[in-house]
């Protein structure tokens, strides 16, 4: 599993190990942390997905690869599109090509819904026309393209899962709105909202995302498959701020509005109907319960000063 010491990986590795899978984690710890997997019976290998020799060694003897490693920030991709391309496009190609050489049967890779589709009337689904408005979205679309090509050319059984906005435990290093809102609430700083607060996202708990990844790994899904993994619930940024304030029992915490940032999609939420049909995926954690439990995790594991 590439990126297995990161946010989603920390939950998924535990899930797969508990299900009886042997898991080898390949991570350069740029955003991940080996401490996330303390006490977990998984093999940890430090390395970069762009390092062909290290990848070949890491994939030796494996029959499946879950590819989570990525440069995941829209804002950072706008600031540095070259680095984003290098990690997400070149890196994904290296992983797929190493899997091909190693005779790996199945690859499951993390993609994205909102950034890849771009501005479109939600709910988006697998038939929505991709028109990325950020380098990050374009890089994920390129990764899907290579996965489909490797499936049709080499018979590699690839599955790309388009994640909604993932949240939950182990997300302290994630540069997303919820993490920043929680930090502001803890520090007593105003919550910063870019734009007028009406932009929206689909927030899906990491347990549901990890469940979908395991389903994609274990089910007989045709190579080249692309599926949206989401909650199907639209949440505006203002609603998210209110939910975070409620979870922290600070309903009147101040909010500061700033100009909208380039590259960010206005409205987005997704239909998971095809994932339900193909994988049997259904989200199980409500937005309110998930945000409340995530705040509790931050209180216990991050805000310990």
Span 154-200, pLDDT tens digits? 999 999 999 999 999 999 988 899 999 999 999 999 999 999 999 99
Give residue 175's pLDDT.
85
CB 212 within 8 A of CB 291: no
Q: CA-CA distance, 158 to 173, in Å (whole number)?
A: 28
Q: What b/e readout covers 267-305, taking b as 16+ CB neighbours within 10 angstroms?
A: bbbbbbebbeebbebebebebeebbebbbebbeeebeee
Kindly list the structural domains of the chain, giving each domain's residue range(s) and its CATH number in brackets, ordered by start.
7-167+203-231+271-283 (3.40.50.720)
The C-alpha angle with vertex 92 and arms to 97 and 200, in degrees rounded to 5, equals 155
Mean model confidence pLDDT for the chain: 97
Nearest to 288 by CA among 253, 249, 243: 243
Q: Is the pLDDT of residue 54 over 80?
A: yes
The residue to which tokens 């409620």 are assigned: 246
Residue 38 φ then ψ, to 5°: -55, 130
The values of phi and psi at residue 175, to 5°, are -90, 60
Give the active site residues: 136
With b for 16 or more beta-carbon neighbours within 10 A and e for fewer, the 45-60 pattern comes to eebbbbbeebbeebbe
Looking at the DSSP assignment, which residues form a beta bridge with residue 26?
A: 2, 45
Task: Identify the band that residue 305 occupies on the pLDDT scale cut at 50, 70 and 90.
Answer: low
Residue 159 · residue 109 · CB < 8 Å: yes
pLDDT band at 82, cuts 50/70/90? very high
User: Is 127 a residue whose pLDDT tops 80?
Assistant: yes
Strands (E), the chain: 24-27, 43-46, 64-67, 106-112, 157-163, 165-167, 191-194, 200-201, 203-205, 225-229, 235-236, 255-258
Mean pLDDT of 143-160: 98
Residue 18 CB burial class (10 angstroms; 0-12, 13-18, ≥19): exposed
Instruction: Please state the rounded mean pLDDT for residues 106-113.
Output: 97
Count of beta carbons in the 10 Å neighbourhood of residue 119: 13
pTM given for the model: 0.96
| Mean pLDDT of all residues in 206-232 | 98
pLDDT of residue 304: 86
Across residues 241-262, what is the average pLDDT? Answer: 97
Beta strands in 113-241 (DSSP E): 157-163, 165-167, 191-194, 200-201, 203-205, 225-229, 235-236
* pLDDT interval class at 261 (50, 70, 90): very high
């Amino acid at each position: 599993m590439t990126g297995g010491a990161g946010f989603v990986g920390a939950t998924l590795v535990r899930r797969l190990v508990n299900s009886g899978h042997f898991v080898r984690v390949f991570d350069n710890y740029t955003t991940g942390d080996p401490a996330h997997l303390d006490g977990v019976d998984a093999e940890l290998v430090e390395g970069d997905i762009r390092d062909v020799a290290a990848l070949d060694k890491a994939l030796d003897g494996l029959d499946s690869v879950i590819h989570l490693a990525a440069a995941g920030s829209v804002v950072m991709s706008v600031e540095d599109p070259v680095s984003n391309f290098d990690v997400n496009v070149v890196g994904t190609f290296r992983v797929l090509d190493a899997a091909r050489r190693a005779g790996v049967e199945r690859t499951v890779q993390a993609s994205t819904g909102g950034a890849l589709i771009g501005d479109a009337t939600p709910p988006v689904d697998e038939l929505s026309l991709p028109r990325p408005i950020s380098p990050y979205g374009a890089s994920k679309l390129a990764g899907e393209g290579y996965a489909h090509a490797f499936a049709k050319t080499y018979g590699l059984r690839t599955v790309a899962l388009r994640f909604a906005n993932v949240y939950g435990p182990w997300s302290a290093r994630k540069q997303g709105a919820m993490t920043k809102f929680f930090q502001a609430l803890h520090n007593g700083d105003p919550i910063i909202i870019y734009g007028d607060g009406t932009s929206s996202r689909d927030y899906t708990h990491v347990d549901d995302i990890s469940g979908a990844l395991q389903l994609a790994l274990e089910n007989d899904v045709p190579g080249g498959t692309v599926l949206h993994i989401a909650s199907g619930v639209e949440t505006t940024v203002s609603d998210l701020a209110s939910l975070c304030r409620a979870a922290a029992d600070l309903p009147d915490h101040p909010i500061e509005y700033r100009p909208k940032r380039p590259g960010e999609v206005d409205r987005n939420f997704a239909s998971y109907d095809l994932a339900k049909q193909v994988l049997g995926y259904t989200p199980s954690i409500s937005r309110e319960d998930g945000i409340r439990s995530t705040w509790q995790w931050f209180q216990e594991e991050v805000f310990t000063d």
